[in-house]
Amino acid sequence: MCEILDSAIKYGLAFVNKGKPASYIPELSKVDPHLLGISILQSDGSILSSGDYDKKFTMQSISKTVALMLALMDRGQDYVFDKVGMEPTGDAFNSIIKLETIQPSRPLNPMINAGAIAIDSMIAGNDINHKFNRLISFFRKICHNNSLWYNEKVYLSEKATGFRNRALANFIKGSGVLEGEVEEVLALYFMQCSIEIDCRDIAMLGAVLAMDGISPITGESLIPKNISRIVKAFMVTCGMYDASGEFSIKVGIPAKSGVGGGIMAAVPGKMGIGVFGPALDEKGNSIGGIKVLEFLSRELDLSIF
């Protein structure tokens, strides 16, 4: 398996020059685009890694999976999905067009920015600090890492340049979807996206999802099985932005990407995978990370289809 991971990294590195780090968030544009790493956490709790697996990066949209779990645990499915839909959009993750053209006017799913911002407004708490502390505690529990925290420079960079997200938040506030004050919800969202992790952390998250909410390290149930399955379904249909269909055909694993360069994947019953490669394609997905996962899916026959 170690040789396979090394070969996957070597294969993926041949493609990183075709992408570049996210430039619309200034702090993300500073990352070395040639980094590429992977960690796999197997169902027996063993972990294998290769490449730049210990480099820190921010979760960005990968964090949407954990926020969704917490909101579902806080509010229940009926409440959450009355405000946010369950369908893929076929549009970019930060697009506003569907909000203007569909009725009722609500985000189509929790994996696009408008849906994720709405989800954050449903997390229970007295104020932003209470909500974020609940969210980061949940992250830490799932990842078995009590040192997780957000990167303040990335947070401030996102907050200063998040004009499109402010437009989305104000739009869904006007249509009655977003709860609370727009700027407080956005601050929570930017902090969530700025949580700093490495490949091992998201491999752990993927492994817990792969095992229907059970930690492969402790055997403890961390996420209700039905919620774990809902999240994996969204990962298949919406997890790779508007490239989710192609990814399902070429890789066939539930996965969620982020513009920080991470991809978290869950192979049901087998393993969690964490990949990091900051060079992105035009859809906002790690170009090297996708190639690594394509290689592994072929070599290990991982497709769920």
Question: 136-160 pLDDT, tens per residue?
Answer: 999 999 999 999 999 999 999 999 9
The yes-or-no answer on residue 30 being catalytic is no
Categorize the per-residue pLDDT at 79 as very low, low, confident or very high, splitting at 50, 70 and 90.
Answer: very high
Total domains in the chain come to: 2
84, 173, 189, 228: the active-site residue: 189
Check residue 93 and give its pLDDT: 67
- Mean pLDDT (whole number) for 51-78: 98
The yes-or-no answer on residue 236 being catalytic is no
| Residue 87 confidence (pLDDT) above 90 | no
- Name the helix (H) or strand (E) containing 51: strand 47-51
CA gap 199, 20 in Å, rounded? 19
If asked whether residues 188 and 68 sit together in one domain, one would say yes
Can you give the pTM of this predicted structure?
0.95
Distances (CA, A) of 274 to 85, 200, 243: 27, 6, 19
| Residue 165 confidence (pLDDT) above 70 | yes
If asked whether residues 69 and 54 sit together in one domain, one would say no
Give first-to-last CA distance, the chain, whole Å: 22
Check residue 92 and give its pLDDT: 64
Q: Give the tokens for residue 152.
A: 């303040």
- Mean pLDDT (whole number) for 254-273: 97
Q: In what order do the strands lie in the sheet with 271-276?
A: 47-51, 37-42, 271-276, 262-267, 255-257
Which residues span the domain enclosing 16?
2-60+196-300
11, 53, 155, 241: the active-site residue: 241
Strands (E), 59-183: none
The answer to whether 94 and 107 are in contact (CB under 8 A) is: no
Three-state DSSP class for residue 114 = helix
The yes-or-no answer on residue 150 being catalytic is no
If asked whether residues 173 and 219 sit together in one domain, one would say no
If asked whether residues 157 and 232 sit together in one domain, one would say no
49, 50, 61, 194: the active-site residue: 61
Categorize the per-residue pLDDT at 89 as very low, low, confident or very high, splitting at 50, 70 and 90.
Answer: confident
Report residue 129 CA to chain centroid gap.
Answer: 22
50, 53, 63, 64: the active-site residue: 64
- Mean pLDDT (whole number) for 71-84: 96
The yes-or-no answer on residue 20 being catalytic is no
Check residue 156 and give its pLDDT: 96
Check residue 24 and give its pLDDT: 85
If asked whether residues 21 and 109 sit together in one domain, one would say no
Look at residue 305 and tell me if it is in a domain: no
Q: What average pLDDT is seen over the chain?
A: 94
Three-state DSSP class for residue 52 = coil
Tally the C-alpha atoms within 13 A of residue 257's C-alpha that lie toward its C-beta.
29
The answer to whether 116 and 188 are in contact (CB under 8 A) is: no
If asked whether residues 55 and 67 sit together in one domain, one would say no
Categorize the per-residue pLDDT at 97 as very low, low, confident or very high, splitting at 50, 70 and 90.
Answer: low
